[in-house]
A = this chain, B = another copy of it.
């Protein structure tokens, strides 16, 4: 457990927001589970909204770092992103994509949370684009957007079915996509 109150707040909030949803978790709950006093909370974050943004920004960094590590460890071929997803889906605490969930919970497309979530996807797309370019695909830009669509489809499907199988399903589609004449 981190020593500083701010770190404990971020850690507790990230866990609760992800597993139960942002709206579903009140400040009271975060204080109780983190052991941080009410005054300390508002000394570190101007509002719950600010905490939400801090959590999302940190998760964006960590998630992309995890993906890059996982892909590299698997050899760096574009298709292994789906193997990385499968590993993620198999975790007991898997609850979908925190950024998709945020966009769903935050109806307003102009809100800061929505923008952070959109920015996250842009960065992941950029990374996958790099993988496809490194693999020698001349159509890497278009393929990257299709890969992200497949990844997001796999994520929401895994959330619904509760298994890791959608990752393999998406991977098989990606294989067909990569071997398709119109994309080679």
Enumerate chain A interface residues (CB-CB to B < 8 A). Answer: 19-21, 23-24, 95-96, 100-101, 103-105, 107, 109, 117-118, 121, 145-146, 148-154, 156-157, 159-160, 162, 166, 169-170, 172-173, 175-177, 179-183
Contact = CB atoms under 8 A, between A and B. Distances in A.
Interface residues of chain A: helix, strand, loop or mixed (majority) = helix
A43 B162 CA distance: 36
Number of copies: 2
Contact of A152 (B121, B153, B179, B183): B153
A59 to B, nearest CB: 16
Contacts of A103: 156, 159-160
A27 to B, nearest CB: 16
